[in-house]
Amino acid sequence: MSDAYLVGHITVKNPEKWLEYQSRVPATLTPWGAELVFRGKQAAVLAGDNPHSDIVVIRFPSVAAINEWHASSAYQSLLPTRQQAAEVVLLSYQA
């Protein structure tokens, strides 16, 4: 099995709600063997156009694990908070 990565491009709309969402996500990752690789703020756009200021990268054991985590009731229950907190684009990649 190859690792897979979830990449989130984020524009925070409500910092308080975003902190709430961020604090609740780690518990949803544990059953899927996922690990936070990094969170960061954009320093510069060197080529192209990127409207989002923040990024998150999470490593999973497989693309299937990403899909199962995303569909899980634990994560789905966080979507209303996420939608209030930020504009988020989630992408999955296989290494």
Query: What HEC string does 7-46 produce?
Result: EEEEEECCHHHHHHHHHHHHHHHHHHCCEEEEEEECCCCC
User: How high is the pLDDT of residue 69?
Assistant: 98
What tokens were used for 42? 């954009």
Report how many domains make up the chain. Answer: 1
pLDDT tens by residue, 45-88 = 999 999 999 999 999 999 999 999 999 999 999 999 999 999 99
Q: 84: which 2 tokens? A: 């209030």
Closest CA to 60 of 25, 89, 84, 31: 31
- In angstroms, rounded to a whole number, what is the distance separating the alpha carbons of residues 75 and 12? 19
Output the domain CATH number for residue 73: 3.30.70.100
By residue range, what is the domain housing residue 78?
4-43+50-94
Q: How far apart are CA 31 and CA 20, in angstroms?
A: 20
* pTM as predicted: 0.93
Residue 2 banded pLDDT, cuts 50, 70, 90: confident
Instruction: Give the pLDDT band (50/70/90) at residue 1.
Output: low
Distance from C-alpha of 78 to C-alpha of 68, rounded to nearest angstrom: 15
pLDDT tens digits along 25-38: 999 999 999 999 99
